Structure 1
Amino acid sequence: MDNKNELKRRLKFIHVFVLGLALLTPSTVFDTFGIASLATKGHVPLVYIFAMFATLFTVLSYVHMVKAFPSAGSAYTYVQKAFHPNVGFLVGWSALCDYLFLPMVYALAIKIYMSAYFPGVPGWLWVVLPILLISVANMFNVKVAVSFSSVFVLLQILISAVFVALLIREMMINEGAGPFFSLEPLYSANLTSSAVLAGVTILAYSFIGFDAMSTLAEETINPTKTIPKAMISLAVYIGITYTIITYFLQVNYPDMSIFSDPEAAAGEIAPQIGGMLFASIFLGTIIVSNISGGIAAQLSISRLLYAMGRDNVLPRKIFGYVTPQSGIPIYNIVISGIVALTAVFFDLVTAASLISFGAFTAFTFVNLSVFVYYYIRNKKRSIKETFMYLISPLIGVSFLAIMWYNMDVQALILGAIWNMAGFIFLLYITKMFKNPAPMFSFDELEAMPLETFDDHVRKI
């Protein structure tokens, strides 16, 4: 392959971690607290701990696969290699559903906040302006996108720290706030398994996006070590941070009935604990966090489109092109930005439903890919390897089964329609399955630990 048409390795651990954190948007914890508190009967921090451990099993599966195939294709590539190019294409198509709609969700969230404060401004403007900013940020060197994201992430971390500090002050000066330390948010008499499962289904969305870091493998220095370290660190960081924040929120506000809109509880809490100045700063940070998340989301979808274009699954001259100077897939940035602009015709619920369908499809098949590739095909079956490549991914699939069972019916219908379109396209590019879907042959895979890798690639 011509080196001029390759992504350039520039990213270190901190860059990948920041982009992942930007995509998960640390301020999400405030958006979901109210509805999660109702679902969990006041045990949000407990369920965050549970959700973190549940997510870690899928994170470990991504870690195993990125070590084997450090490419930009993520689940699309892993399933290709473990199962079949056709199956990989369908999973990649489903993942597109997740990635394509992520920037839309951030834009729609901004529209909701800004339309409430500026009702006289056309709503579509709050969609177009953020997407233009997101796209421009991604058209520069990838480190420019990291710089944008770093600033926005630092703002979110700072405002979260101030929020917790104000909650602690509220607990100390307000006798009605209850004891400073309480086990109620972690365990109480009204805790039920159904409440925990209902809460996990809601709070699992907070972790969706960690997989996007694997799409940066071809732009990361030493990806087989850096990407796994960043993915695990991100999942643990988010789990611990969200647990701490929601603990103090839950102790101060155990009853959601006091809020006019429980789904927007944090917006009502902010002026109560910090006044209108803090509430304004809090709102500004929420807007900024959504722009940051949009930048990271579009960065990821552009890399997935690049992987599919390079494979010639999508037209290579467009989707597989990277600029020689900056080393970014600029056409994919433009295309994903245009797609995101269709958010003016969607609502937040519809876009979020499609994201969950695509994400859970990718997660499920990546877990299965670990089992098939390592345990079945490469016969990694020692006691340690059995846990890593059989038990762990199957536990991940079990947790995902809970998510599938509780998924919104609309998401299942829309996802099925999307996948049917992908299946029809697959019939076209394979000439009714006479040929397998195109698949990239890796020339420069790094640090592959399996001694059978070369033979396996030749068989494929």
Structure 2
Amino acid sequence: MNRSEPSNSNPQKPPLPPEATDEAHTVESFGYTQELRRSISTTDLIIYGLIFMVPIAPWAIFGTVYNEAKGMVPLVYTIGLIAMIFTALSYSQMSRRVPLAGSVFSYVGAGVHPNLGFFAGWVMLLDYLLVPTLLYVFAAESMVGIFPGTERWIWALVFVAINTIVNLAGVNSIKLMNRLFLIMELFFVAAFIVIAVTTLNGGTLPNAEWATTPMWNPSEVTAPLIAAALSIAVLSFLGFDGIATMAEESTGGHRSAGRAMIVSLIVVAVLFITQTWLASLLAGGIDAFPEDKVGNAFFDIVAAASTTGWAKAFLVCNVLAVGIANAMAAQAATSRLLFSMSRDKKLPGFLHQVNKRQVPQNAILVVSGLSAILVVFFVGQIGLISSMVNFGALSGFLLLHFAVIWSYTVRGRSKDWLNHVILPGIGFLIIGYVLMNSDILAKIGGLCWLLVGIIVFIVYRKKGAGISALPAEPQPTPEETTTRQDI
């Protein structure tokens, strides 16, 4: 059996001390057996988070964000970091108490109620199941640009096959690929910085000079612009939360996932801000990119500042980072969420079976199969897929913040108002604002997904109770409150 069950009809899991040693924060302490291989260090988790968020992510959308933000692209990513740090802190709070692969499914199920946990996991599935499809569509579109006349669906299936093989090969293969791709991406980030600094110092591009206006231009900053930037920025950082799905494979203790999420978020934000600031300077202060130049704005800037050869190399790097590295990380995260929900008998049981390399083989194959099918139908529908992904992620984040407040303050009677009320409350309001202003098609699609979830919930409700709730948190002494480490 994958989950230990006492012989009585009302199984009770062993209680988990909320601030105990690593030995108390184990899979077994929640009534499960350790099936996934523990071989991922905190450093590997950070690398995984960076790969999932893609250090070079601004390249593909630079022109779009530049036009929307009146040239203040680095300001957008600064706002995004400030906004998403609240969500990262909430993940940190819950991941150290519930170190399971289910992410928000496990956090909400343990911290609030197993039934609500199912719906938290279900809305996140909308994000995780569609993210690989979105990435394959992105990569396929770019490959057709590099090799005109080729079929998009062929490239998409090639990427699906590569990532499936790597994921089935085990965690060590994922770690190796993550490190190789991170080195590649950081090399090109460094190359761009050198190109940009050399060009700005040499004055070889018209109107390209050092300035701080891309960071903050008082004449252009308005409340509506900041609001629009917030929506763009929050969505640009989706992916750091995938670290939580690898918690059962971490060797760094119960605080490892939370620390890795915060570190990777800050690191990638610095990379985003640096690259977009330099690219905005190289743009020479133009008001907006023409419609037919928006998609390749960044690569055109690289070509103008260096050579066409460099621009093509940057484009190839972008395709590989999205189609293989990012999609590979997304597939790993999705399979772990399916594994966790299946283990709690909320999804078909075959999804939590693992292979000899201790990875959820069937879940990985299901994600690959769905991606292969969906890319055929969603080619050319990048906007629709993106909006659906965003709805799922933001809905899951809302429930995450609620879980922190409810589990620590309402049920646990915590007096740590900053970490357990104020910070998650701010995060809840930010995510709620962005969700309310999301695309109408995303809202309709999300509601349809929830209706399907209700049907699935009814079908599997009698098959298992899910993860047991956490016990109430004992009140810390004044000395513990002043010395407690929250991250």
TM-score by length of 2: 0.86
Supply the distance in 1 between the matched residues of 2:253 and 2:104 (Cα, whole angstroms): 16
Which residue matches 1:407?
A: 438
Partners of 1:86 and 1:436 within 8 A in 2: no
| Separation in 2, partners of 1:451, 1:306 | 32
> Matched residues in 2 for 1:179 and 1:109: separation?
32
**Structure 1 equivalent of residue 267 of structure 2:** 237
Q: Distance in 2 between matches of 1:365 and 1:50?
A: 22
Distance across 2 between alignment mates of 1:439 and 1:156: 40
**Counterpart-to-counterpart distance in 2, 1:184 and 1:128:** 39
Q: Which amino acid aligns with 2:398?
A: T
1:97 corresponding residue in structure 2: 126
Preserved contact between residue 73 and residue 304 of structure 1 (Cα < 8 Å): yes
Runs of 5+ unmatched residues, structure 1: 453-460
**Relative to structure 2, which stretch is displaced further, 97-106 or 397-406?**
397-406
Could you tell me how far apart the structure 1 residues matched to 2:190 and 2:473 are?
Answer: 44
Which of 88, 104, 108 is the equivalent residue of 1:75? 104
Q: What's the CA shift string for 1:418-439, capped at 9, x where partnerless? A: 1110011112222xxxx59631
| Corresponding position: 1:362 with 2:396 | yes
The aligned counterpart of 1:148 is 177
Write the distance in 2 (CA, Å) between the matches of 1:50 and 1:352.
20
How far did residue 184 of structure 1 move?
Answer: 4.7
Amino acid at match of 1:104: T
Q: Distance in 1 between matches of 2:341 and 2:104?
A: 12
1:245 Cα deviation (Å)? 1.1
Are 1:439 and 2:466 counterparts? yes
SS of the residue corresponding to residue 295 of structure 2 reads: helix
Residue aligned with 1:185, SS: coil
The one of 302, 316, 334 equivalent to 1:301 is 334
Deviations 1:72-116 (A, max 9, x none): 010011111222211111111111111011111111111111112
1:5 shift after superposition: 6.5
Moved more, 261-270 or 54-63: 261-270
Does 1:380 pair with 2:414?
yes
- Higher-helix-fraction structure: 1
Structure 1 residue 296: Cα displacement: 0.4
AA partner of residue 387 (structure 1): L
- 1:318-329 correspondence runs (5 A): 318-323=350-355, 325-329=356-360
Q: Could you give the per-residue CA deviations for residues 297-325 of structure 1, whole angstroms, max 9, x where no partner exists?
A: 00001101110111111122x111112x3
Matches within 5 A, 1:179-194: 179-194=209-224
| Distance 1:179-1:451 versus aligned 2 partners, 3 A rule | same
Q: How does 1:167-316 map to 2 (within 5 A)?
A: 167-174=196-203, 176-253=206-283, 254-255=285-286, 257-259=288-290, 260-290=292-322, 291-316=324-349
Deviations 1:273-309 (A, max 9, x none): 2212101211110111011001100000110111011
Structure 1 letter corresponding to 2:420: Y
Please state how far the C-alpha of 1:51 moved relative to its aligned partner.
1.2
SS of residue matched to 1:407: coil
Q: Deviations over 1:375-425 (max 9, x none)?
A: 1110112xxx10110010010011112211321111111111111100111
**Superposed CA offset, 1:4-52 (max 9, x none):** 8711111101111111111111111112221111111121112211210
Alignment match of 1:338 (pick from 350, 354, 369) = 369
Are the structure 2 counterparts of residues 188 and 263 from structure 1 closer, same or farther at C-alpha, using a change threshold of 3 Å? farther
What amino acid is aligned across from residue 75 of structure 2 in structure 1?
Answer: L
The answer for the alignment partner of 2:74 in structure 1 is: 45
Instruction: Give the Å deviation of 1:208.
Output: 0.4
Which runs of structure 2 are paired with 1:420-439 in the superposition (5 Å)?
Answer: 420-430=451-461, 438-439=465-466
Question: Percent sequence identity over matched residues?
Answer: 26
Partner of 2:306, secondary structure, is: helix
Number of the residue aligned with 1:457: none
Deviation at 1:181, TM superposition (A): 3.7
Please tell me the residue identity of whatever aligns with 1:192. T
Name the counterpart of 2:43: 14
- Give me the whole-angstrom Cα distance separating, in 2, the residues matched to 1:107 and 1:412: 23
Which piece of structure 1 moves more, 60-69 or 261-270? 261-270
Count of aligned pairs between the two proteins? 440
Render the CA deviation track for 1:302-358: whole Å, top value 9, x for unaligned: 101110111111122x111112x3111111111100001121110222221211011
Distance 1:262 1:284 in 2: 18
- Is the alpha carbon distance of 1:258 and 1:43 closer, same or farther for their aligned partners in structure 2, counting shifts above 3 Å? closer
Q: Which residue of 1 aligns with 2:387?
A: 353
In 2, Cα distance between equivalents of 1:227 and 1:449: 23
Correspondence 1:125 to 2:154: yes
Distance 2:351 2:186 in 1: 35
Distance 1:449 1:277 in 2: 61
CA contact (8 A) 2:101 2:244 kept: yes
C-alpha contact 2:92 2:255 (8 A) present in aligned 1? no
Using the TM superposition, name which of 70-79 and 188-197 deviates more: 188-197
AA aligned to 1:118 is F
Question: What residue identity is the alignment partner of 2:399?
Answer: F
Aligned pair partner of 2:140 in 111, 114, 122: 111
Rounded to whole Å, the distance in 1 between the matches of 2:294 and 2:157 is: 29
Query: 2-side partners of 1:124 and 1:178: how far apart?
Result: 40
Structure 1 contact 5–322 (Cα < 8 Å) conserved: no
Aligned-CA RMSD value: 2.1
Give the superposition deviation at 1:441.
5.1
Return 5+ residue gaps in structure 2 as ranges. 3-31, 476-487
Higher mean alpha-carbon deviation, 65-74 vs 174-183, is at: 174-183
CA 1:258/1:79 → structure 2, altered by over 3 Å: closer, same or farther? Answer: closer
Inter-partner Cα distance in structure 1 for 2:118 and 2:282: 48
